[in-house]
Amino acid sequence: MARRIRQCVVALSFVLASAAHASTVYVANNGTDDASCGSKASPCRSITRGIHVASAGDHVVVGPGSYRGESGAPGCDCFVAVGKPLALTSSDGAASTVIDARGFLVRTNVLITAGRVELGSPGKGFTVTNPDAAGGSGIEIDADDVTIKGDQVIADSSVAGPGVGILASVPNSALIEGNQVLLWTVGILAHGPGDMVRRNQVSLNRTGIDVGGTSVASGNVTSDDGQGFNLSESASAIGNGIYGNSSFGLFAIGSSGGIAGNNVFGNEGGNGNCGIGNNGSPGLNAANNYWGASTGPGPDPADQADQSCVVNGATVTSPFAAAPFHVRAPIKP
C-alpha cells in the first residue's frame, strides 16, 4: 500500500512539474517575428514563429486576424508545420482567426507530425483554408494522439480543386470533434485504428465523412453533401444525422462495422432515395436506424434500403426505429 502511495505521489509530482514549466506564447496580427517575441506585450507575427519559440507542452494563443505569412518547415510541403506537442488555440474563435494558405502552392495547409497536439477548442478554433495545390488538404494528421476541435475547415475552389478537409489517413489515433467542414472533395477522412470522428457538422462536400479501419463516427451531422458517408473495413457510424445528401446517405464498401442509431432521410442517391448503399457487404447490419417514417425504410418520405440500393450484398434493417433520434452537432465558431 505504501509503495502504491509513493508511486502516486511521484506521478502527481511529475504532472505538477510539467504544468509548472508550461508557458504561453502569444501570436498576433500586429506582432513582430523578432528574436524575443512571444510575450503578451510583444507577440510574434506568425504562427510558425510562435511554434518555433514554444517548448514542448506549451500553449500558443493566436489573436484575431488573417495569417498569410507562414513558412511551414523544410520539406514538409505545408503552410504551417506543428512538429512538437503543443496546444494551439485562438483567442477570439474561428470566425475571427483565419489560417489562409490560398496563394501558396503547397500540399497541406496545417500539417501535424507530433503527438499530443491540440488544434483549436470549442469557441477557440481556427478557420483553415485549402492551399493552392490541386487536391490539397486543410488539416493533415500524421501522428498519434492528436485532437482537432472547434475549427472551421472551408475550401475555396476558385484557387484550386480541393482535396480533404481533415485528413487522418495514416495509422494513428485522432479525435476530430466539433468542427464545421465545408466544400471539400472529402470533408473528413479517418482510416486509423483508433480515430474518433464525432459531433462535427459537414456540408457541401462531394463526400461528407469517409471512415475506415476501426474508426468510429458518432453524433455527426452530414447534410447537403454529395454522399453523406463512406464506410469501409470495420468502421462504425453510430448516432449520426444524415440528411438531404444528393447521393447515398451511407455507402458501405465491404464494411463489417456497426451502423445504428442514425437518422437517415431526405437522401437522393442510387435508384431513387437510397439512404444506404451496399457494395460487397453480405448481411450488412443496419438495424435500429430511423429512415424517415415510422414504417421503416421505403418510398418517400422514407429512404430506401432495399435491393434497389445494393450493388453486391444484402442489408438487414429490422428492427428499425419508429421515431427520429436526437442528433445535434454543437458548433461554436
Cell of 92: 477570439
| Confidence band of 194 (pLDDT split at 50, 70, 90) | confident
3-state secondary structure of 265: strand
Q: Note whether 235 and 222 are within 8 A (CB).
A: no
Report residue 185 CA to chain centroid gap: 14
| Confidence band of 146 (pLDDT split at 50, 70, 90) | very high
Q: Which helix (H) or strand (E) holds 189?
A: strand 186-190
Residue 300 lies in a domain: yes
Give the number of other Cβ atoms within 10 Å of residue 85's Cβ: 18
SS (H, E, C) 56-86: CCCEEEECCEEECCCCCCCCCCEEEEECCCC
The total number of structural domains in the chain stands at 1
Give the number of other Cβ atoms within 10 Å of residue 7's Cβ: 10
Cell of 211: 471512415
- Evaluate if residue 90 carries a pLDDT over 70: yes
- Residues with Cβ within 8 Å of residue 246, at least 6 apart in sequence: 224, 225, 226, 267, 268, 269
**Backbone phi and psi for residue 172, each to the nearest 5 degrees, phi listed first:** -160, 180
Amino acid at residue number 170: V
Q: Note whether 168 and 196 are within 8 A (CB).
A: no
Cα(267)–Cα(280) distance, integer angstroms: 21
Cα(173)–Cα(140) distance, integer angstroms: 13
Residue 66 lies in a domain: no
3-state secondary structure of 109: strand
Residue 83 lies in a domain: no
pLDDT digits (tens, 9 = 90+) for 14-42: 344 444 467 999 999 999 999 999 999 99
Output the pLDDT for position 10.
36
pLDDT digits (tens, 9 = 90+) for 284-328: 899 999 999 999 999 999 999 877 787 777 889 999 999 999 999
Q: What percent of the chain has pLDDT over 70?
A: 93
pLDDT digits (tens, 9 = 90+) for 203-224: 999 999 999 999 999 999 999 9
User: How many angstroms separate the most distant Cα atoms in the chain?
Assistant: 68
Cell of 12: 502527481
Report the pLDDT averaged over residues 46-60: 98
Report residue 311 CA to chain centroid gap: 29
Residue 239 lies in a domain: yes
Q: Is the dihedral of CA 158, 182, 138, 54 positive or negative?
A: positive
Residue 325 lies in a domain: yes
Mean pLDDT across the chain: 91
Strand order, beta sheet including 310-312: 78-82, 108-112, 137-141, 164-168, 186-190, 207-211, 227-232, 250-253, 276-279, 310-312
- Residues with Cβ within 8 Å of residue 265, at least 6 apart in sequence: 242, 243, 249, 275, 290, 291, 292, 293, 301, 302, 303
Cα(170)–Cα(140) distance, integer angstroms: 10
Q: Note whether 229 and 208 are within 8 A (CB).
A: yes
Residue 271 lies in a domain: yes
Residue 294 lies in a domain: yes
Q: Which residues of 281-309 are buried (b: 16+ CB within 10 A; e: fewer)?
A: beebebebbbbbbeebbbeeebbbbbeeb
DSSP designation for 52: H
Q: What percent of the chain has pLDDT over 90?
A: 81
| Confidence band of 254 (pLDDT split at 50, 70, 90) | confident
Cell of 320: 428499425
Domain membership of residue 321 as a residue range: 185-333
Residue 292 lies in a domain: yes
3-state secondary structure of 182: strand
Least confidently predicted of 14-23, 90-99, 105-114, 203-212: 14-23
